[in-house]
Amino acid sequence: MRKRNWSVLLGAAFLMATSAVGPGFLTQTTVFTQQLAASFGFVILISIILDIGVQLNVWRVIAVSERRAQDIANLVLPGLGAFVTFLIVLGGLAFNIGNVGGAGLGFNVLLGISPETGAMLAAGMAIAVFLVREAGKVMDRFAQVMGFLMILLIVYVAITSGPPVGEAVAKTFMPDEVDVLAIVTLVGGTVGGYITFAGGHRLLDAGVKGKDALPEVTTSAVSGITVASIIRVFLFLAALGVVSKGLVLDASNPPASVFQLAAGNVGYKLFGVVMLSAAVTSVIGSAYTSVSFLKSYSGIIRRNENWVIIGFILVSTAIFVTIGQPVRLLILAGALNGLVLPLTLGVMLLAAYKPSIVGQYRHPVVLTVFGVLVVLIMAYLGGYTLMQQVPKLFN
């Protein structure tokens, strides 16, 4: 495999993985470990299998068709691409406000400055990536460095917390209980919304496309899920080590208390680094992917992509600094986000069997079965979430 391509494949994998590992990912993993203890290992295992199925379906169709997701959707049903773009950009903006806030919290832990000031510093870091001429390469490298840094720090805290590894392994295959909602939440948090398209669109932009590139696309897709899963597993072990000793996590910031209870004040500072790394890379991934969906609709956006990405980051930051977390927008985006995965995955599965989109390509039956299963489960639960959340908009 050529060196340039390997760098791009790794870059796309880490962009997807670090887009998934944001403030919400850290909190979800910690809270579910507290609730399910060692049995959460089973939830992680099932979600990893489902994540790989989703990612391979989406990335392969994007690569073979040599088109972005919104363009594929428009070919399946005219106008559907615009609706998908609306959902992705709305979700991307809403979650980016949370990501900017998480980065502000990271700086608050590290330097003692206000979260708002920290958010502006973090936005400056993210914007700096897109001010460089070869922003794509810088983005790839930044995601890789931050990803490796998070893995190293979380592994250190996991070792320090002394988790019952034997019990965790046993319960991963023979859990005391199976929490379906936790599985769905993890799948949505790892490959839901804009996240799975971050790497797929990055490969397309870097010229990794066509039927001949499928082995490379598969390698990159599986690598992305592997990186996100390594971070998830070691964070689970770190939290399990703390919870198994009977220590109580701070409900206002569960992941921070895992780090602090496991490794003292040093651990708390390490949490600041992990939160900052997770949040800034998610800001970059969200802005890049959201704008990649808008490119189909405007030549101006295509020609000024980096400046539009910078504008997206500035808007997210301005909303956080002036309003804070806009509760209604976050509720709406969270509810709609549950529909993005079944809708877009369903579109990809339909596209995989249209010769006008994929040519002579034959989609693996196993991936189709996997994909249909995920579409049905996520559509049901996404619809249920929507029904639960919409009334809250009017409270």
What DSSP string describes 324-388?
Answer: -S-HHHHHHHHHHHHHHHHHHHHHHHHHTT-HHHHTT----HHHHHHHHHHHHHHHHHHHHHHHH
Per residue in 12-34, pLDDT tens?
999 999 998 988 889 889 999 99
Number of Cβ within a 10 Å radius of residue 354: 14
Confidence of residue 4 (pLDDT cuts 50, 70, 90): low
Average pLDDT over residues 156-185: 92
Per residue in 231-253, pLDDT tens?
999 999 999 999 999 998 888 88
pLDDT value of position 250: 87
Asked if 327 contacts 335 with a C-beta cutoff of 8 angstroms, the reply is no
Mean pLDDT, rounded, of the chain: 90
Of residues 325 and 282, more confidence is placed in 282
Let me know if residue 40 belongs to a domain: yes
Q: How far apart (Å, rounded) are the C-alpha atoms in residues 160 and 153?
A: 11
Residue 387 pLDDT exceeds 90: no
Confidence of residue 120 (pLDDT cuts 50, 70, 90): very high
In order of 193, 270, 288, the CA distances from 201 in angstroms are 14, 32, 9
Average pLDDT over residues 62-67: 96
Here the tokens at position 225 are 């899920």
The answer to which of 97-106, 111-120, 320-329 has the lowest mean pLDDT is 320-329
Confidence of residue 391 (pLDDT cuts 50, 70, 90): confident
Confidence of residue 326 (pLDDT cuts 50, 70, 90): low
Average pLDDT over residues 102-113: 93
Asked if 201 contacts 290 with a C-beta cutoff of 8 angstroms, the reply is no
Residue 330 pLDDT exceeds 70: no
Let me know if residue 55 belongs to a domain: yes
For the chain, the helix, strand and coil percentages under 3-state DSSP, each to the nearest 5: 85, 0, 15
Confidence of residue 2 (pLDDT cuts 50, 70, 90): low
Asked if 326 contacts 97 with a C-beta cutoff of 8 angstroms, the reply is yes
pLDDT value of position 28: 87
Average pLDDT over residues 82-87: 93
pLDDT value of position 193: 84
pLDDT value of position 95: 87
For 174, the 3-state DSSP assignment is coil
Let me know if residue 203 belongs to a domain: yes
pLDDT above 70 as % of the chain: 96
Average pLDDT over residues 167-190: 88
Q: CATH number for the domain including 172?
A: 1.20.1740.10
Asked if 285 contacts 143 with a C-beta cutoff of 8 angstroms, the reply is yes
Let me know if residue 1 belongs to a domain: no
pLDDT value of position 335: 67
Cβ-proximal residues to 385 (8 Å cutoff; 6+ apart), any chain:
334, 335, 338
Here the tokens at position 22 are 């944001």
Average pLDDT over residues 369-386: 86
Domain that holds residue 93: 6-393
Confidence of residue 179 (pLDDT cuts 50, 70, 90): confident
Let me know if residue 102 belongs to a domain: yes
Q: How far apart (Å, rounded) are the C-alpha atoms in residues 288 and 196?
A: 13
pLDDT value of position 85: 94
Average pLDDT over residues 331-339: 70
Cβ-proximal residues to 78 (8 Å cutoff; 6+ apart), any chain:
none
Confidence of residue 340 (pLDDT cuts 50, 70, 90): confident
Asked if 17 contacts 278 with a C-beta cutoff of 8 angstroms, the reply is no
Asked if 63 contacts 217 with a C-beta cutoff of 8 angstroms, the reply is yes
Average pLDDT over residues 95-123: 93
Domains: count for the chain: 1
How much is the pTM?
0.91
Confidence of residue 334 (pLDDT cuts 50, 70, 90): low
Average pLDDT over residues 110-137: 94
